[in-house]
């Protein structure tokens, strides 16, 4: 799913020049694809929440204020650029 999101997304931050990403990653001492690898391994915040606390868990906790800010919650992630 992560690969489909990146391929189909029109967000320029997700479609940035791979060379630029490699330069930034090298400066930080991390692998260029660290974010994608993390998303593939555990999913995004919403998926992690639903799996461990929400609808897909025994706890069945509503996301409430843990929703994205655009859906009435407080969860906001500034862009990494």
- The verdict on residue 26 lying in a domain is yes
pLDDT number for residue 81: 61
Domain enclosing residue 42, as ranges: 2-71
Q: How many domains does the chain have?
A: 1
- The verdict on residue 77 lying in a domain is no
- The verdict on residue 81 lying in a domain is no
- What are the tokens at 78? 């500034």
pLDDT number for residue 54: 97
- The verdict on residue 76 lying in a domain is no
- The verdict on residue 79 lying in a domain is no
Predicted TM-score (pTM) of the model is: 0.68
Evaluate whether 39 touches 2 at the Cβ level (below 8 Å). Answer: yes
Residue whose entry in the numeric block shows the structure tokens 């862009």: 79
- The verdict on residue 78 lying in a domain is no
Evaluate whether 17 touches 23 at the Cβ level (below 8 Å). Answer: no
Least confident of 21-25, 41-45, 52-56, 57-61: 21-25
């Amino acid at each position: 799913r992560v690969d489909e999101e990146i391929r189909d997304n029109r967000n320029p931050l997700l479609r940035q020049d791979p060379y630029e990403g490699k330069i930034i990653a090298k400066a930080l001492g991390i692998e260029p694809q660290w974010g994608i690898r993390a998303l593939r391994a555990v999913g995004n915040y919403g998926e992690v929440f639903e799996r461990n606390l929400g609808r897909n868990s025994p706890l069945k906790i509503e996301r409430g204020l843990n929703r994205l800010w655009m859906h009435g919650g407080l969860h906001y992630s500034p862009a990494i650029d």
